[in-house]
Amino acid sequence: MKIQHIFFDLDNTLWDHRRNAYLTIKDLFEKEEITFKYNIDFEEFHSVYHEINERLWEQIRDGEIDKEYLRKHRFYDTFNRFGIDDLKLSMFFEEHFLDKILNYNHLVESADVILDYLKAKNYTLHIISNGFQEVTERKCILSGIDHYFQTITSADSVGVRKPNPAIFEYSFGVAEAKKEESILIGDDWIADIIGSQQFGIDCIFFDVLNESKEVENLKVVKHLLQIKDYL
């Protein structure tokens, strides 16, 4: 059957979380004078944070931890790497990070262009995100892309995260979409691609990190505009 519904992942597929997070943490770092107080280089701090945060998101995706654990530990564990055991400081960063990141709403390159293209071709577009419910919709609104989407599903609405089939089932129910008429586009190999395949829908892997997966018949794009080759 012809594709009618396109489900997008949000963070790092459309909304440039890596860039927006970097800029937010840099602001907090400078305002709190962390280099002056603790003699820590920002780039080194951010590199450690990124490593820890990516691992924690893998654990939350796999159901090993909950979001409260992630929120308590990503900055706490980062500061600990530099010998600073200060829960108050790390929670200050966490609370202000979630609030201030929405001051930055950079999109992945050409995200708006491909959304315009797909909308003009009369596809029905949806978001299915592993992000926190309290920020998912606001990211879409503040970056100006909310109007493209008929439905926006965040993992907190269901209580599980991709690749768990329950979040796909929920999102498809809200969207009133059939599997054979749908495709998902995302950047996370396990959450988006393995999740889609296990749920039984077609998918496009946005290989932004050049992971070079050798899988037969896998649709892969390195840039969002390459989606035009498939849709």
SS3 call for 128: strand
pLDDT level of residue 163 (50, 70, 90 thresholds): very high
In tens, the pLDDT along 120-152 reads: 999 999 999 998 887 899 999 999 999 999 999
pLDDT digits (tens, 9 = 90+) for 19-62: 999 999 999 999 999 999 999 999 999 999 999 999 999 999 99
**Where does the pLDDT of residue 77 fall: very low under 50, low under 70, confident under 90, or very high at 90 and above?**
very high
Residues of the chain with pLDDT > 90, as a percent, come to 90
Looking at residue 216, what is its pLDDT?
Answer: 80
CA dihedral (105, 115, 140, 59) positive or negative: negative
Which domains are assigned to the chain? 5-15+107-229 (3.40.50.1000), 17-103 (1.10.150.240)
Q: Which stretches does DSSP call E strand in 85-196?
A: 124-129, 149-154, 182-186
Q: What is the pLDDT of residue 99?
A: 87
Residue 98's pLDDT is 87
- Mean pLDDT over each residue of the chain, to the nearest integer: 95
* Token pair of 208 as six digits: 């932004």
Of 25-39, 63-77, 161-175, 201-215, give the lowest mean pLDDT range.
201-215
Give the pLDDT band of residue 89 (cuts 50, 70, 90). very high
What distance lies between CA 216 and its chain's CA centroid? 26
For residue 214, the model assigns a pLDDT of 74
Confidence at residue 132, expressed as pLDDT on a 0 to 100 scale: 84
With 80 as the cut, is the pLDDT of residue 1 above it? Answer: no
Contacts 24+ apart (CB under 8 A), 150-158: 150/124, 150/125, 150/126, 150/175, 151/126, 151/127, 151/175, 152/126, 152/127, 153/126, 153/127, 153/128, 153/129, 154/129, 154/130, 155/129, 155/130, 155/131, 156/67, 156/132, 157/133
